[in-house]
């Protein structure tokens, strides 16, 4: 058996290793406070489950869906974008259903990257951006996100020879893993840059509904002319605590959406119709549940932020996402500090360098556990004398 050479270029998926370590310690009887994987612990809202139950046995729900998504779902997405961002989308050719945004992000590279092409991707970043580039035969060029530049890429620092081979520019705000946010001024700059250099601008907007303290994250498609060069990925996973339902959407530039749909039509058979029906219901019904969930996550963020700052940490309180990007103490590396927290305190975080070399010097906390557990984690840090 001879596996493809591309597999040799792919590191083990970050969270697989973390789950293995957690399982090992749990078997030893250690109580792990898990700030690792960003999987919401809150329940999917009851009205979405109710809709799912009602449609499960309807005629035709078990038949093949269209790989592009049922028209009722695409209409619901268009309506939601109009209500939320005042962005007009044609559900016929500017919206495509996804089996979760991760699937769509992986497939968009197959639609646009040939061997030798470059994808401009942030660093640190969701690991799929890098891996999907490699699987498509392309080369990732990393755009460092640092505190100095407010975790925004410095587009004017990209070499001309790189731009000559680049076909995609990836942005992700609100950002995973840093929790950083961006406004329309930055998005306007990205749109103009993409037009100037003939790039497809790809926006990962998975955390748009997780804004705090009055902040409402924008969509890149709000920028006039953005649809000329942009496709945006979104998901119901974080907004409605539906990570396991696997439903999302890609919207924007008609040519890009159709290219993605072509790849999907050859590689998957679409999202389960009943899930699409429940998802359409989630998007078109009142959004009170989103506000309720954000209140909970905001309280958790405050407990963690206040606790860490009481121990000497200094960093900006995140305005969005359920991630807190925390610098490691002097003398520590991302892996060494991660190991210390796990071995001494039974606290599981993710080392920042797992998201790219520019993530070195940080660890990521996912506040997907009750605030009481977060308070317990702070107590453990104090008990073991761990400060910044």
In this prediction, residue 275 carries a pLDDT of 96
> For residues 360 and 25, what is the distance between their CA atoms, to the nearest angstrom?
25
CATH classification code of 46-284: 3.40.640.10
Average pLDDT, stretch 73-102? 98
Q: Tell me yes or no: is domain 5-44+289-383 CATH 3.90.1150.10.
A: yes
Classify strands 166-171 and 118-123 as parallel, antiparallel or unpaired: parallel
For the chain, the structural domain boundaries read: 5-44+289-383, 46-284
Chain segment 130-168, per-residue pLDDT in tens? 999 999 999 999 999 999 999 999 999 999 999 999 999
Statement: residue 259 has pLDDT above 90: yes
pLDDT above 90 covers a percentage of the chain that reads 86
> Which tops the pLDDT comparison, 300 or 11?
300
Chain segment 264-310, per-residue pLDDT in tens? 999 998 999 999 999 999 999 999 999 999 999 999 999 999 999 99
On whether the CB atoms of residues 238 and 210 are closer than 8 A, the answer is: yes
Average pLDDT, stretch 224-236? 98
> For residues 334 and 331, what is the distance between their CA atoms, to the nearest angstrom?
10
Task: Give the other-Cβ count within 10 Å of 24's Cβ.
Answer: 10
In this prediction, residue 8 carries a pLDDT of 81
């Amino acid at each position: 058996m001879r596996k493809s050479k591309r597999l040799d270029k792919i590191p083990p998926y970050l969270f697989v290793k973390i789950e293995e370590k957690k399982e090992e310690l749990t078997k030893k009887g250690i109580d792990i406070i898990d700030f690792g994987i960003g999987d919401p612990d809150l329940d999917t809202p009851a009205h979405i489950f109710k809709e799912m139950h009602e449609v499960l046995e309807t005629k035709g729900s078990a038949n093949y869906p269209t790989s592009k998504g049922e028209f009722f779902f695409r209409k619901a997405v268009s309506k939601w974008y109009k209500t939320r961002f005042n962005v007009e989308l044609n559900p016929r050719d500017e919206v495509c259903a996804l089996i979760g945004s991760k699937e769509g992000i992986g497939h968009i590279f197959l639609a646009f990257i040939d061997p030798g092409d470059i994808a401009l991707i942030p660093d640190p970043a969701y690991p799929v951006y890098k891996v999907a580039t490699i699987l498509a035969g392309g080369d990732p060029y990393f755009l460092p996100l640092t505190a100095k530049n407010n975790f925004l890429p410095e587009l004017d620092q990209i070499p001309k020879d790189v731009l000559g081979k680049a076909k995609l520019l990836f942005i992700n705000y609100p950002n995973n893993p840093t929790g950083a946010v961006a406004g329309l001024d930055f998005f306007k700059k990205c749109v103009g840059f993409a037009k100037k250099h003939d790039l497809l601008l790809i926006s990962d907007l998975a955390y748009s509904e997780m804004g705090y303290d009055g902040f409402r994250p924008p969509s890149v498609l709000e920028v006039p002319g953005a649809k000329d060069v942009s496709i945006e990925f979104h998901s119901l996973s974080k907004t409605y605590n539906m990570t396991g339902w696997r439903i999302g959407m890609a919207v924007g530039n008609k040519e890009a959406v159709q290219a993605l749909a072509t790849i999907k039509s050859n590689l998957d058979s679409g999202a389960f119709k009943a899930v699409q029906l429940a998802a359409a219901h989630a998007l078109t019904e009142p959004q009170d549940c989103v506000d309720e969930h954000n209140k909970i996550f905001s309280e958790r963020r405050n407990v963690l932020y206040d606790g860490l700052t009481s121990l000497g940490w200094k960093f900006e309180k995140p305005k969005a996402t359920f991630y807190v990007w925390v610098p490691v103490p002097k003398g520590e590396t991302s892996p060494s500090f991660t190991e210390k927290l796990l071995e001494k305190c039974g606290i599981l975080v993710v080392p920042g360098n797992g998201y790219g070399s520019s993530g070195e010097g940080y660890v990521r906390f996912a506040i997907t556990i009750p605030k009481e557990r977060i308070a317990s984690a702070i107590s453990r840090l104090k008990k073991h004398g761990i400060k910044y």
